[in-house]
């Protein structure tokens, strides 16, 4: 059972990590583009680059979410053929899609802030979000609501 639970967590994180590469690329590209446009004195071009990056990253996140929801009982076959693992991944696919959708926008907005020269503010916002929101939410979901990974 412990081996299966390890695979369950790994499958979930692999899928999330694969999708996360796209917003991280938008983070880097948008940060550089916004910094270059602002440095050249073209504020409207920086605003346009921001809008396009947010729209594209959100659309890609939505497409991935829709694909996961359509194929929620099959997409875990990339990682495992174990029936229990497939059943578990299907069970948490809603949480996965929510995570993917939120993570498709956040890196782009962080890239814009970094490109605008607000690195310190981005660091504080990220620390606050992770430790003041994320950790308590994780504790609430796992220990109070019991939505964590089961160890049947």
**Which pLDDT score, from 0 to 100, does residue 76 have?**
76
**Which pLDDT score, from 0 to 100, does residue 46 have?**
95
Determine the Cα–Cα distance for residues 23 and 43; give it in Å rounded to an integer.
23
Residue ranges of alpha helices (H) inside the chain are 2-39, 43-70, 83-91, 93-115, 119-127, 135-139
Mean pLDDT in consecutive groups of 10 residues from the start of the chain, 152 residues = 53 70 88 94 95 92 90 78 78 84 88 92 90 89 75 50
Which has the closest alpha carbon to 59: 89, 19, 92?
Answer: 19
Using the Cα atoms of residue 9, residue 13, residue 14 and residue 16 in order, give the sign of their dihedral.
positive
- Predicted TM-score (pTM) of this structure: 0.76
**Which pLDDT score, from 0 to 100, does residue 56 have?**
92
């Amino acid at each position: 059972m412990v081996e299966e639970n390890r695979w369950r967590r790994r499958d979930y994180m692999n899928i999330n990590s694969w999708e996360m590469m796209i917003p991280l690329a938008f983070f880097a590209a948008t940060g550089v583009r916004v910094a270059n446009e602002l440095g050249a004195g073209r504020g409207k071009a920086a605003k346009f680059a921001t809008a396009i990056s947010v729209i594209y990253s959100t659309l890609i996140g939505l497409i991935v979410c829709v694909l996961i929801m359509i194929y929620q009982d099959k997409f875990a076959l990339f990682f495992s053929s174990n029936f229990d693992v497939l059943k578990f991944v299907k069970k948490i696919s809603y949480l996965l899609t929510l995570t993917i959708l939120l993570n498709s926008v956040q890196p782009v907005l962080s890239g814009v802030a970094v490109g605008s020269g607000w690195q310190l503010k981005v660091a504080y916002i990220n620390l606050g979000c992770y430790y003041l929101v994320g950790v308590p939410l994780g504790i609430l979901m796992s220990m109070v609501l019991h939505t964590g990974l089961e160890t049947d």
